[in-house]
Amino acid sequence: MVSQIGVVFGQRSQLWWDLPLQESFELLAAMYQVPEKRYKSMLRTFDELLQLSQFWQTPVRKLSLGQRMRGEIAAALLHAPRILFLDEPTIGLDVVAKQAIRKFLLEVNRQGITILLTTHDLRDIEQLCRRVIVINHGKILLDGSIEHLYSQIGAESTLIVDFSRPIITHTLINGLQVTWQNETRALVKFDRSRHTPNELLRLMAELGEIRDLHIVEPDIEHAVAKLF
């Protein structure tokens, strides 16, 4: 049923251009017959996560792109749909606006709403998606998790380990590719399907006292480009 679907298209607005955002919401709530109690409850939630009250009385035509997109997404959810379709929801937005929208979408998804997202911003995929479909000229190149994407192209994560003291013996560990930048820093490339970070940490700790470490994941843009 159409009432179970919410949509946001980047170039097509469902808000009334010359009306304040609040009046657009009131019209949509009336069209979808949203009960007043639920409507007010949802507005409080939207305001808490998207700060809509900051521009509640501003005509839509005077909103910034980031403000309008926040309003568009909230409007698409007013009638509590089961699935939300989003087309390029963060295109052209600044870093702060992107973070706000991604945080909101994660919360919406946790509440049980399925989100189908099309985007060219691969950071959206990294931060929001559990399932990824890569399409090229109508042909599906990949359908699976981000980890599946990395495994398909042979991408590896890198564990960067800084030791407290110089390590004299540079031993090859369990067949892993270990590169030493200097006597105290090692770069260990590994496949997550074969090795866990905890396993690597234990192996590296056998070489000496660890001062610091962090993991660098494969670059998703590079991974997608390799599929093409």
In the predicted model, is pLDDT for residue 167 greater than 60? yes
Residue 10: the pLDDT is 66
Enumerate helices (H) and strands (E) in the chain, giving the number of each. Answer: 8, 9
Domain architecture of the chain: domains with CATH: 2-129 (3.40.50.300), 155-227 (3.30.70)
Adjacent-strand bridge partners of 132: 144
The confidence band for 149, taking pLDDT boundaries of 50, 70 and 90, is confident
Q: For residue 157, what are the CA distances in angstroms to 132, 150, 192, 217, 219?
A: 19, 9, 7, 5, 9
Average of per-residue pLDDT across 163-187: 81
Please state, in angstroms and rounded to a whole number, the distance separating the CA atoms of residues 205 and 220: 30
Residue 200: the pLDDT is 85
In the predicted model, is pLDDT for residue 170 greater than 70? no
Q: Is the pTM of this model over 0.85?
A: no
Average of per-residue pLDDT across 204-218: 87
The confidence band for 80, taking pLDDT boundaries of 50, 70 and 90, is confident
Under 8 Å between Cβ of 19 and 59: yes
Please state, in angstroms and rounded to a whole number, the distance separating the CA atoms of residues 3 and 196: 44
Average of per-residue pLDDT across 9-13: 74
Average of per-residue pLDDT across 22-33: 91
Residue 1: the pLDDT is 63
Residue 175: the pLDDT is 66
